[in-house]
Structure 1
Amino acid sequence: MDDLVQPARALGIHPPAVTRGEGEVRAALGGSVDVHFAGAGVDGLGGVRVEVGEAAAVPNRLAGDRDPLALRLALLTRRHYCGAQFTPGILDEADATLHRWRDGVAVWARAPSRPMPPDVVRDAYAAFENNLDTPSVLGQLNRLADDVDVADGAKFETFVHLDRVLAVDLARDIGAGPD
């Protein structure tokens, strides 16, 4: 388990509070709730069970100089219960999206704050509640980024707010210097 802590930390994933047995992770949330992350066909764990698809390890040669959170973003483009294979093209696209969004957030942060678009927030929350449908949320953010009818301050507030769940550090470049 210890060999997973550093790579997980690079992806913004906190280590589990408690681990038990080979390959079994048990996180204590508020004491009595167990959360188990397991593949299909694993039964008898009790507590909350989150089924996750298999993701192939990304070799260092594929990770290259990309931000480690680009891999996290690439994972978020797939449903959590589906398997994932990553090609250089997929990782390049995630890395480019991450940089584009961070650049946008840094620019939008200079604008006066505006309320988040209620329909975007409502639909994002519904997607999160619908079996953690992160691909839908990412699609909403892509559309919002390109929407010329939405004020920059509203885009900023929405991206930063939804990043509290996505955890890809979209506000990282705010105040970093000239464009």
Structure 2
Amino acid sequence: MHAYGPPPAYARAVLRIIDSRTGEPVEAAPARRGLTRVEAHASGLDATALRVLLVSDLLVRALELGGTPVWALLTGDLEQAELRAAAGALGIRPFEDGGDIGSGLGEAQVLHVAAEGGARTGGVLVAVAPVGSATTAAPDLSDPGALRLALLSAPRKLPVRLDEAGLEEARRTLAHWRGSVADWARRPSRPVPDEVRVLLRTAWEDDLNVPEVLEVLRRVETWPDLPDGARFETYAYADRLLGLELTRDIGSLA
């Protein structure tokens, strides 16, 4: 990354997702201003179901950032109240009940998000790899921000192993970023550099490559000659996708 260089060509924001049925990329919102339905298929309160909802939440956020109207639904039949409560703690926005919803409501695109092996009929399938842990108990939600970051740190197509070491690393990273953002917020605001904005959007519009978004943030943190106000605006902008409450500690520093 070079300071204040000219941004690469970037004609229009287009979120492309790999359809797990075909292995081919498709546009998540192929029609201008058309409605995209994101339907999460998850049952039971476990880490894999939460990851399915988290990927669905990221899809909704990415589409909305690109100006696409979204209808978000949750379909499942086991422990739905418990799953919704855990998702809310994780910062996942509410989904409507999709149990009795059919097609034909004018959607330009339908994206089905499900755990691997959960094949669905119609629409694009966004498969999510499983989450493993040392226990079979429900996920520990005592530090939901760290859990969300830990789940975001791996591509959705790769399995995730939740263990204390990984969660502790996520806690440290999140605390460091929140502290840095709170410190940068005391400086004069500066716009997100065009080059950085392009890097962020190119990452998340390429099959929702959130780990690359996180890598861009790490690079921005130490990018020479970038005003702290621009670092702040960059992290705040990226957090519209990540949902990590990176601005939470503003005003808390002495």
With structure 2 as the length reference, what TM-score do the two structures score?
0.61
Q: Which has the higher helix share?
A: 1
The 8 Å contact of residues 117 and 154 in structure 1, kept in 2 or not, is answered as yes
Q: CA deviation at 1:46?
A: 1.5
Aligned twin of 1:9: 88
Report sequence identity in percent: 39
Aligned twin of 1:39: 115
Shift in CA distance, 53/43, structure 1 to aligned 2, threshold 3 Å: same
Aligned twin of 1:76: 152
Aligned twin of 2:242: 166
Query: Matched residues in 2 for 1:4 and 1:136: separation?
Result: 28
Q: Higher RCO, 1 or 2 (CA under 8 Å, sep at least 6)?
A: 2
Q: How many residues end up aligned between the 2 structures?
A: 172
2:192 corresponds, among 116, 120, 136, to: 116
Query: Aligned runs of 1:49-68 on 2, under 5 Å?
Result: 49-56=125-132, 63=140, 67-68=143-144
Runs of 5+ consecutive residues of structure 2 not aligned to the other structure: 1-79
Residue identity matched to 1:103: G
Q: CA deviation at 1:161?
A: 0.3
Query: Matched residues in 2 for 1:69 and 1:82: separation?
Result: 21
Query: Matched residues in 2 for 1:53 and 1:166: separation?
Result: 19
Q: Does 1:130 align with 2:209?
A: no
Query: Matched residues in 2 for 1:43 and 1:5: separation?
Result: 22
Q: CA deviation at 1:137?
A: 0.8
Shift in CA distance, 133/175, structure 1 to aligned 2, threshold 3 Å: same
Q: Does 1:94 align with 2:191?
A: no
